[in-house]
């Protein structure tokens, strides 16, 4: 069926795009990365404390606290959607995780007899299988995120509701449920597996904070998924031209539901990690974090109109926000300025991208 | 050119479609033989697009039957139509601007390589095959360029290259020559000739009378949701077709 090629293709009229006009060099992510590098150099000269090991660890830990959720929301943004429920989702997952952990670790609690028994001294509670409680409670926390993500995806992809309104509703629903289950008091991870929990969420490995390690692993996985799997290809196609995606036979509904589920799971995981660092899951935890997360994604180059974005951009956005916050603290500027500056940077980043795309 | 003995690749009988109170199509019978190029003409609102969308699996007909290569078929989604061998080049080309030419050609049917349990995209193979297809179309299109940066003709080539991936038996082209340069029109018409040589049936939906008369074996004229004429091209003339389209002549 192949037709014979009469002459090899020549490109007499079509020039090749130069390397600096392609890929990362021509993206907002590239520009923001450059700005970040400049900012790091400035910080180095402005404050001798900035590049100390302690401060670097601090920065790495702090930006990891929103970066995993930013990876998730970047998936949604690439499809041209938005998820405003990530902040509430963080709180709810964290809360469910620590409540389940406490419940399963309290003798006489619901189902606790399967997991714990009393030591012979009658006071200490011992786990039947070490780590099992932790596993079950984290799965429970991620499970509620999964359900919320499915509901988001169903409303948006199947019922055709607007992502903004759906996830705004979910923001309120999930936050409200958090108050309902906790009576507004918040909860604390407890029981025999609590030490594992803290080690897994706020510990260090070889001097690296564990949240940072999770972030790197997840970001690499995301890069592979986005650029080397058909799912990733479909995510980009959906953001570029949804109608084309549909006409070419891409399972649009399924892909949409999947991105909202991925986003909710990332937020849930992020919440669980934050609660390990805080040592509790208060009912007002991560309030308005969705704005930081979306801001970081947008600064890093994800386009809210869809079709553009990636893990590097998400991380660069988070690092930039954190370095600025850290820098303002080191410079002893009131931390209230941070929010103002973040807003300015969002607009600047988008503005620079607009100017650049007009120049080409 | 049309052999009466051969099973028509596509056969519609009594196709009708209503959208609420609006009757978009009524009692359309037509057939397309292998290797035949059929022009589908009609004014805006004549029912051409609805007919194309029914054949392509976007809509289900309210009445009538579709037979493909002799078998009755029911398409619920465009993939169903594609699975039997119907490819469509849409008027707005259905391209994702933010992806490369090769990615667009293979959209929805990416080539993959297995690495144990996971299948990753085979970028090299897709780029090579896309370049081959662009070569056949004699289009100066680089597989790795973003569609965003391409000319109208290159976009057309990408959309047409897509139909060449599978062993399509019927290619429908919705206004393929509407928005491209004179030289590129020649190329597209040349491509239609080549599809025909391969035994592929082509349905050309076009407003451009010269293009239809240059490549088609037969012309079908639609008006007000009905088929008004179905004639071999050498038994009609542009004047008659125009009269049929506008309604100056009721039927032929």
Q: Taking Cα atoms as reference points, which of B246, B228, B218 lies closest to residue B33?
A: B218
Write out B83-106 in H/E/C secondary structure: HHCEEEECCCCCCCCCCEHHHHHC
Using DSSP's 3-state secondary structure scheme, residue A1 falls into: coil
* pLDDT values of chain A reduced to their tens digit, one per residue, 360 residues: 444 444 455 666 666 666 666 666 667 888 888 888 998 888 888 888 888 888 888 888 888 889 999 999 999 999 999 999 999 999 999 999 999 888 888 777 667 777 777 766 666 677 777 778 889 999 999 999 999 999 999 999 999 999 999 999 999 999 999 999 888 887 888 777 888 888 888 888 887 888 889 999 999 999 999 999 999 999 999 999 998 888 888 899 999 999 999 999 999 999 999 998 888 888 888 888 888 899 899 888 888 888 889 999 999 999 998 888 888 888 888 877 877 887 888 788 778 777 766 765
Q: Is residue A201 helix, strand or coil?
A: helix
Contact status, residue B191 vs residue B31, Cβ threshold 8 Å: no
Contact residues of B toward A, CB < 8 A: 58, 77-79, 82, 88, 90, 92-99, 103, 107-110, 112, 118-121, 123, 131-132, 134-136, 138-142, 145, 149, 154, 162, 167, 194, 198
Q: Would you state the pLDDT for residue A20?
A: 60
Smallest CA–CA distance, residue A55 to chain B, in Å, is 39
Q: Which residues fall within 8 angstroms of residue A48, CB to CB, at 6 or more apart?
A: none
Instruction: Mention every residue, 6+ apart, whose C-beta is less than 8 A from residue A63.
Output: A315, A318, A319, A321, A322
How many CB atoms sit inside 10 A of residue B48's CB?
A: 23
Q: From A243, which residue of chain B is nearest by alpha-carbon distance?
A: B94
The Cα angle at residue A49 between residues A46 and A53, in degrees rounded to 5? 135
3-state secondary structure B116-163: CCEEEECHHHHHHHHHHHHHHCCCCCCCCCEHHHCCHHHHHHHHHHHH
Nearest CA in chain A to B132: A5
Angle formed by the axes of helices A252-278 and A86-105, nearest 10°: 60
Residue A15 contacts B, CB cutoff 8 Å: no
Name the nearest CA neighbour of B159 among B104, B208, B97, B78. B104
The CA distance from A255 to A224, in Å, is 17
Q: Find tokens 């795009």 and name the residue.
A: A17
Q: Which residue of B has its CA nearest to A237?
A: B96
What confidence category does residue B92 fall into, taking pLDDT thresholds of 50, 70 and 90?
confident
Q: How far is residue B242's CA from residue B43's CA, in Å, rounded to a whole number? A: 10
What residue spans of chain A are helical by DSSP H? 28-46, 53-78, 86-105, 132-153, 163-182, 194-202, 210-228, 230-240, 242-247, 252-278, 289-299, 311-330, 337-359
Q: In chain A, what residues touch B161 (CB-CB under 8 Å)?
A: none
Scan for tokens 């402005």, then name that residue.
A46
Q: What is the mean pLDDT of residues B63-77?
A: 88
Beta bridge partners of A55: none
Q: How confident is the model at residue B1 (pLDDT cuts 50, 70, 90)?
A: very low
Total beta-carbon pairs less than 8 A apart between chain A and chain B? 102
Closest CA to A74 of A253, A212, A251, A226: A226
**Distances in Å between the alpha carbon of A40 and those of A34, A220, A255, A261?**
10, 24, 38, 35
Q: Chain B neighbours among A 299-328 (CB < 8 Å)?
A: 307-308
Q: Which residue has the tokens 């892909």?
A: A255
Gap from B225 CA to chain A (nearest CA, Å):
24
Structure tokens at A9: 């293709």
pTM: 0.85
Q: Considering only CA atoms, which of A294, A302, A290, A285 is closest in space to residue A78?
A: A302
Encoding tokens for residue A251?
């399972």
pLDDT value, residue B2:
45
Residues sharing a CB contact under 8 Å with residue B4, sequence separation 6 or more, in sequence order: none
The ipTM (two decimal places) reads: 0.80
DSSP character at residue A82: -
Q: Which residues of B touch A243 (CB under 8 A)?
A: 92, 94
Q: What are the residues whose beta carbons fall under 8 Å from the beta carbon of A288, sequence distance 6 or more? A: A87
The conformation of residue A157, written as its DSSP 8-state character, comes to I
């Amino acid at each position: 069926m192949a037709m014979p090629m009469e002459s090899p293709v020549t490109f007499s009229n079509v020039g090749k795009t130069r390397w600096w006009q392609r890929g990362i060099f021509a993206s907002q992510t590239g520009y923001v990365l450059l700005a970040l590098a400049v900012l790091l150099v400035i910080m180095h000269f402005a404050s001798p404390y900035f590049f100390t090991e302690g401060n670097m660890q601090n920065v790495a830990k702090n930006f990891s606290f929103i970066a995993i959720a930013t990876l998730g929301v970047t998936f949604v943004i690439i499809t041209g959607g938005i998820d405003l429920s990530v902040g509430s989702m963080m709180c709810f997952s964290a809360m469910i995780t620590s409540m389940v952990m406490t419940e399963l670790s309290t003798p006489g609690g619901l189902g606790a007899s399967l997991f714990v028994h009393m030591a012979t001294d009658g006071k200490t509670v011992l786990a039947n299988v070490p780590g099992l409680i932790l596993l079950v409670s984290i799965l429970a926390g991620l499970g509620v995120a999964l359900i919320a993500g499915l509901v988001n995806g169903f409303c948006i992809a199947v019922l055709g509701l607007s992502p903004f309104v759906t996830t705004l509703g979910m923001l309120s629903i999930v936050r409200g449920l958090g108050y309902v289950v906790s009576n507004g008091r918040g909860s604390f991870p407890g029981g025999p597996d609590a030490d594992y929990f803290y080690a897994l969420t706020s510990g260090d490995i070889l001097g690296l904070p564990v949240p940072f390690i999770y972030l790197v692993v997840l970001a690499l996985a995301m890069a592979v998924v986005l650029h080397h799997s058909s799912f990733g290809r479909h995510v980009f196609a959906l953001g570029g031209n949804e109608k084309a995606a549909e006409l070419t036979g891409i399972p649009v509904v399924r892909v949409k539901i999947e991105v909202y589920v991925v986003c909710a799971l990332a937020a849930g995981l992020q919440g669980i990690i934050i609660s390990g660092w805080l040592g509790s899951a208060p009912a007002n935890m991560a309030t308005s974090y969705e704005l930081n997360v979306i801001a970081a994604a947008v600064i890093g180059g994800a386009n809210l109109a869809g079709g553009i974005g990636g893990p590097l951009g998400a991380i660069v956005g988070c690092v930039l926000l954190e370095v600025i916050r850290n820098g303002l603290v080191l410079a002893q500027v009131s931390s209230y300025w941070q929010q103002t500056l973040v807003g300015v940077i969002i607009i600047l980043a988008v503005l620079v991208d607009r100017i650049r795309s007009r120049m080409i | 050119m049309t052999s009466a003995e051969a099973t028509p690749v596509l056969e519609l009988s009594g196709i009708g479609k209503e959208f609420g109170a609006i009757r978009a199509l009524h009692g359309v019978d037509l057939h397309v033989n292998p290797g035949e190029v059929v022009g589908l003409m009609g004014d805006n609102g004549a029912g051409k697009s609805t007919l194309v969308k029914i054949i392509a699996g976007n809509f289900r007909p309210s009445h009538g039957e579709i037979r493909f290569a002799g078998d009755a078929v029911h398409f619920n989604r465009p993939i169903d139509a594609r699975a039997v061998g119907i490819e469509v080049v849409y008027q707005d080309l259905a391209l994702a601007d933010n992806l490369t030419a090769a990615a667009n050609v293979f959209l929805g049917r990416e080539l993959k390589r297995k690495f144990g349990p996971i299948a990753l995209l085979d970028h090299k193979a897709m780029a090579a095959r896309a370049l081959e297809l662009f070569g056949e179309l004699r289009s100066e299109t680089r597989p790795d360029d973003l569609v965003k940066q391409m000319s109208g003709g290159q976009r057309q080539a990408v959309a047409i290259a897509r139909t060449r991936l599978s062993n399509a038996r019927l290619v429908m082209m919705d206004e393929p020559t509407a928005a491209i340069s004179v030289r590129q029109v020649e190329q597209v018409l040349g491509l239609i000739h080549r599809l025909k040589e391969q035994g592929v049936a082509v349905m050309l939906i076009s407003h451009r009378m010269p293009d239809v008369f240059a490549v088609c074996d037969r012309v079908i004229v639609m008006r007000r949701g009905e088929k008004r004429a179905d004639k071999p091209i050498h038994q009609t003339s542009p004047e008659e077709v125009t009269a049929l389209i506008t309604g100056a002549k009721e039927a032929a």
